Amino acid sequence: MRWSRTLLETIKENPSEAEVASHQLMVRAGMIRKVAAGLYDYLPLGWRVMRKIEQIVREEMDAAGALEVQMPILSPAEMWQETGRWTQYGAELFRIKDRHGREFALGPTHEEVITDIVRRTVRSYRQLPVNLYQIHTKFRDEIRPRFGVMRAREFIMKDAYSFDRDEIGAEAAYDKMFQTYQRIFQRCGLRFKAVEADSGSIGGSFSSEFMVLAETGEEAIASCTQCNYAANIEKAVGKLPVISPEETPITMEMVSTPGKHTVEEVAEFLQVPISRLAKTLIYAVDKILVAVVIRGDREVNEVKLKNALGAQELVLAGPEQIQAATGAPVGFAGPCGLQGVGRILMDDSLHQAVNLVTGGNRADTHAQGVNPGRDFQPTQILDLKNVRAGDLCPKCSAVLTLERGIEVGHVFKLGMKYSRAMRAVFLDEGGEEHFCVMGCYGIGVSRIAAAAIEQNHDEHGIIWPLAIAPYQVVLLPVSPKDPRAAEMAEEVYAEMQAAGVEALLDDRDERAGIKFKDADLTGIPIRLTFGRGVAENMIELKRRDTGAVEMVSRTEIAARVKALCEKMAGL
RNA sequence: CGGGGUGUAGCGCAGUGGCUAGCGCACCUGCUUUGGGAGCAGGGGGCCGACGGUUCAAGUCCGUCCACCCCGACCA
């Protein structure tokens, strides 16, 4: 491709709306342009990257035996009602009505539609297992779209769904996809980590996320410094030592704590460490109030709490609800004698803890010397806290660290959630009917591009991994007025095309500085400069990643570039 | 949804209530320049987010709405 014909406009200044490097660079390099919040045009350069990523995904999915299909973006409300997700998915589901008033969803994911395909197609065990996938646009009305295509309302996703006759088959399908995903992300040149994850609104029994490690990632990951344990913070479990187990329990007594309603204020006032406090949070869960008691220095993990309660909606109770439930204003709730809630859940950080300080369920009052089991009876003791760096690994008890990541893939074991709700059944050898056992597997194609930039850039611009670069080589004649250089660039450009190398010829009538800056900004892995060396039939070859420069003779250039491409692609 | 911020040329930004709304970049023409975002000269491009109000006079003040960005979404 000739640069002058690509409608490729770069800009010098960062757009004011872009915060993170990938967003800034994608806009500056002319890859994307914002249409509205969370909606982007993919311009020619950006779209080439998407197609590169799609192609890698497609090749690996095909190699894994999956079948590509295409489902409609619109799906009828009835299907979503069958599984209950029409109401459960909430405001994130884009809904529209047709001219007759019939309701549709813009697909955020396609479990319902794929299950409908299978229930209408699969009748016999002989047709199983099957794994169907598609690559197209998904719609999610995100609370807050941000970071460019990283969290957009419309994005490109590969979604795959496996159907098996039993758990053993489903397990194998899951493992196959897990391995396939590792290959895909490796081929895309990403540094990533697979972590245990919560299944969220997709459901199912177990899931793993593939995280690209980056400071700007929206997800927090806990991982073990010794073994291979790694989990999303939503799911991660950390062990911690119990508080002073050898201390003898003292008598519980009320103390006056006027105006002290945060844990920090109470700890300071009573001169005890914050970890000695047990805070009591009152949640409103589907109209019922639930108390959660947790160590003062710890945070409740609402995903864990939701899962423990089987709840869909979870909000902290308002001041009136708290007053009604505890008899005290906000800040003085405690578990002892607490009558106004349905359940008292205690985080296991307080298991065997002694002599705690809690709220007194009376204004300006706290209780000291509180001992769980003696002074109050939790309904359940559960792990409900967020892991912190320094907690201990649940598998091997080594220290856990926290990192940040960008979720680029997620694989789920779904079980029979959808096949049962939508009656996707088959007959076995004995003529007996069974539900299909499902798995589902997503990859954020557009997010991979952003994640790759987040991991691979410098102050000059993008540094594409070769496999997903929009072009592999940029040819740069330094002076348009130098006919020998221009001519040689044209010849080499033709040779590149003949050799199957994707080349971009910078044929613009621009000064050298502009061309060099743009070559760096757009991040094309190999740059060929036709300048001073041309008189001696030499071409300068520079790698964008290492910055290494070498002079290559005119006769060897095609072979050299071809070999370097193969090396950089890891072939 | 709550809080904060911003809307002026394609992009980045100036602009005491007072003449025909500016600057840099980008764009077009010409001349010079030519290995790291050139110089000079000339030029094109604006519903100043929308609507309503105050005023002799509104980009500027007031109100309402809209869009976009950031933080938060309840940790007692």
The nt closest to A36 (CA vs C1′) is: B68
Nearest one of A179, A90, A196 to A140, comparing CA atoms: A90
> In the 8-state DSSP scheme, what is residue A470?
S
The spacing between the Cα labelled CA in A16 and the C1' in B61, in angstroms, equals 28
Q: Flag residues 79-108 of A with CB < 7 Å from strand B.
A: none
A282 touches strand B (CB under 7 A): yes
Structure tokens at A49: 């990257």
3-state SS of chain A: helix, strand, coil percent to 5?
30, 30, 40
In this structure, CATH architecture of domain A471-568: 3-Layer(aba) Sandwich (3.40)
Helix (H, G, I), strand (E, B) or coil at A273: coil
The nt closest to A330 (CA vs C1′) is: B76
CATH 3.90.960.10 domain span(s) along chain A: 253-382
Pairing of strands A356-359, A380-382: unpaired
Residue A53 burial class via C-beta count within 10 angstroms: exposed 0-12, middle 13-18, buried 19 and up: buried
| Residues facing residue A155 across a β-bridge | A138
Nearest-5° Cα angle at A301, A298 to A307: 145
Residue A462 burial class via C-beta count within 10 angstroms: exposed 0-12, middle 13-18, buried 19 and up: buried
Helix (H, G, I), strand (E, B) or coil at A464: coil
The spacing between the Cα labelled CA in A154 and the C1' in B10, in angstroms, equals 25
What lies within 8 Å, CB to CB, of A462 at 6+ separation is: A25, A29, A453, A456, A521, A522, A523
The spacing between the Cα labelled CA in A277 and the C1' in B29, in angstroms, equals 77
Query: What is the rounded (10 degree) CA torsion for A226, A456, A440, A69?
Result: -150
A531 touches strand B (CB under 7 A): yes
pLDDT in tens, chain A (571 residues): 999 999 999 999 888 888 899 999 999 999 999 988 899 999 999 999 999 999 999 999 999 999 999 999 999 999 999 999 998 888 889 999 999 999 999 999 999 999 999 999 999 999 999 999 999 999 999 988 889 999 999 999 999 999 999 999 999 999 999 999 999 999 999 999 999 998 877 888 889 999 999 988 888 899 999 999 999 998 999 887 655 557 888 889 899 888 887 888 888 888 888 888 998 988 888 778 889 999 988 888 888 888 888 877 778 887 778 888 888 888 888 999 888 888 899 998 888 888 999 999 988 889 999 999 899 999 889 899 989 888 999 999 999 999 999 999 999 999 999 999 999 999 999 999 999 999 999 999 999 999 999 999 999 999 999 999 999 999 999 987 889 999 999 999 999 999 999 999 999 999 999 999 999 999 999 999 999 999 999 999 999 999 999 999 999 999 999 999 999 987 6
Pairing of strands A380-382, A343-347: parallel
Nearest one of A482, A569, A491 to A528, comparing CA atoms: A491
Residue A459 falls in which region: left (phi positive, over 0), alpha (psi -120 to 50) or beta: alpha
| Residues facing residue A231 across a β-bridge | A196, A222
Q: What is the pLDDT of residue A244?
A: 57
What CA–CA distance (Å, rounded) separates A357 from A371? 9
Please state the φ and ψ torsions of residue A498, each to the nearest 5 degrees. -65, -35
Cβ atoms within 10 Å of A286's Cβ, excluding its own = 11
Amino acid identity of A362?
A: R
A217 touches strand B (CB under 7 A): no
CATH 3.40.50.800 domain span(s) along chain A: 471-568
Q: Which fold has domain A13-236+402-453?
A: BirA Bifunctional Protein; domain 2 (3.30.930)
A398 touches strand B (CB under 7 A): no
The nt closest to A148 (CA vs C1′) is: B69
A16 touches strand B (CB under 7 A): yes
Q: What is the pLDDT of residue A498?
A: 96
A143 touches strand B (CB under 7 A): yes
The spacing between the Cα labelled CA in A108 and the C1' in B48, in angstroms, equals 39
CATH 3.30.930.10 domain span(s) along chain A: 13-236+402-453
Contact between A452 and A464 (Cβ < 8 Å): yes
* CA dist list (Å): A548 to A456, A524, A526, A530, A540: 17, 14, 10, 16, 10
ipTM of the complex model: 0.92
Q: What is the pLDDT of residue A259?
A: 81
A274 touches strand B (CB under 7 A): no
Helix (H, G, I), strand (E, B) or coil at A351: coil
A19 touches strand B (CB under 7 A): yes
The nt closest to A38 (CA vs C1′) is: B68
Q: Flag residues 196-215 of A with CB < 7 Å from strand B.
A: none
Residues in chain A: 571
Q: What is the pLDDT of residue A243?
A: 55
In this complex, the residue with its CA at the shortest distance from the C1' of nucleotide B72 is A144
Amino acid identity of A472?
A: Q
Q: Flag residues 484-513 of A with CB < 7 Å from strand B.
A: 511-513
The spacing between the Cα labelled CA in A16 and the C1' in B48, in angstroms, equals 19
The nt closest to A300 (CA vs C1′) is: B75
Q: Flag residues 535-554 of A with CB < 7 Å from strand B.
A: 540, 542
Cβ atoms within 10 Å of A261's Cβ, excluding its own = 18
Q: What is the pLDDT of residue A2?
A: 95
Q: Flag residues 252-271 of A with CB < 7 Å from strand B.
A: 261-263, 266
What lies within 8 Å, CB to CB, of A459 at 6+ separation is: none
Amino acid identity of A326?
A: T
In this complex, the residue with its CA at the shortest distance from the C1' of nucleotide B24 is A13
Q: What is the pLDDT of residue A216?
A: 86
A340 touches strand B (CB under 7 A): no
The spacing between the Cα labelled CA in A511 and the C1' in B32, in angstroms, equals 14
The spacing between the Cα labelled CA in A149 and the C1' in B62, in angstroms, equals 39
Tell the CATH superfamily of the A253-382 domain.
Answer: YbaK/aminoacyl-tRNA synthetase-associated domain (3.90.960.10)
Nucleotides of B under 7 A from a protein CB: 1, 10-13, 24-26, 33-38, 67-76
Amino acid identity of A181?
A: Y
The nt closest to A18 (CA vs C1′) is: B69
Nearest one of A259, A284, A261, A278 to A381, comparing CA atoms: A278
What CA–CA distance (Å, rounded) separates A115 from A161? 9
What CA–CA distance (Å, rounded) separates A61 from A68? 8
A330 touches strand B (CB under 7 A): yes
The spacing between the Cα labelled CA in A10 and the C1' in B48, in angstroms, equals 27
A6 touches strand B (CB under 7 A): no
Contact between A284 and A276 (Cβ < 8 Å): no
